[in-house]
Amino acid sequence: MADRVRVGVLISGRGSNMASLIAASREADCPYEIVLVASNNPEAAGLAIAQQAGIATFAHPHKGMKRAEFDSMIDGALRSAGVQLIALAGYMRILSAEFITGWQGRILNIHPSLLPLYRGLDTHQRAIEAGDAEAGCSVHVVTPELDDGPVIAQARVPILPGDTPDSLAGRILAEEHRIYPEALAQMARKLR
């Protein structure tokens, strides 16, 4: 098999999507490998999961640093690791336009809504409050506008009577774990 595309994953928290990307990367025919997991939160639970999987990690708190300065540090870590494609997986920090431009078309994000609906935070609560019949998740290419950029994969789930933001989030998360590895693999195949 041809060389695998080198992926860097950015996380801020529990890292369940990152774990699903790692699990898929262990399949023999997966077109990507994860070479670095980086975080703006040294306490992110996902860092330990990555380390247990034998993946290099980089963590530095963003507090006290200018956005451009912090992003340039992350950029350096990714480039030193030979990363070719970035997957944001619960990375709770807005990336500077400079960073995004430097990786044009090579950053993916998973967002828990049916984009273009509900960009930003509290997506599950907003979908329930709007009385929507369905919710879901989207994988999109990252552009300088928040939660914008071409959607390359989407999954839908029903919103059920009595759903809370947590119950809905759980139903959607299972779909996130299914579609993100597929979308990342699809993107990696294009870069190979």
DSSP label at residue 177: H
Residue 62 appears among annotated catalytic residues: no
Looking at this protein, which amino acid is placed at residue 143?
T
Task: Select the residue whose beta carbon is closest to ligand GRF and give its number.
Answer: 90
Q: Which is nearer to ligand GRF, 8 or 15 (CB)?
A: 15
CB of 34 to ligand GRF, least distance (A): 14
35: how many CB neighbours lie within 10 A of its CB? 19
CB of 110 to ligand GRF, least distance (A): 4
Contact status, residue 68 vs residue 102, Cβ threshold 8 Å: no
CB of 164 to ligand GRF, least distance (A): 15
Residue of 60, 111, 124, 140 marked catalytic: 111
The tokens for 141 are: 């290419």
Binding site for ligand GRF (CB under 6 A): 11, 13-18, 46, 89-90, 110-112, 137, 173, 176
DSSP label at residue 4: P
CB of 137 to ligand GRF, least distance (A): 6
Distances (CA, A) of 81 to 6, 7, 75, 88, 143: 9, 9, 10, 16, 23
Q: Which is nearer to ligand GRF, 11 or 107 (CB)?
A: 11
Q: Which is nearer to ligand GRF, 60 or 93 (CB)?
A: 93
Q: Which is nearer to ligand GRF, 22 or 89 (CB)?
A: 89
Nearest CA among 86, 91, 112, 130 for reference residue 175 = 112
Burial of 116 (0-12, 13-18, 19+ CB in 10 A): exposed
Nearest CA among 192, 102, 97 for reference residue 146 = 97
Q: Which residues are catalytic?
A: 111
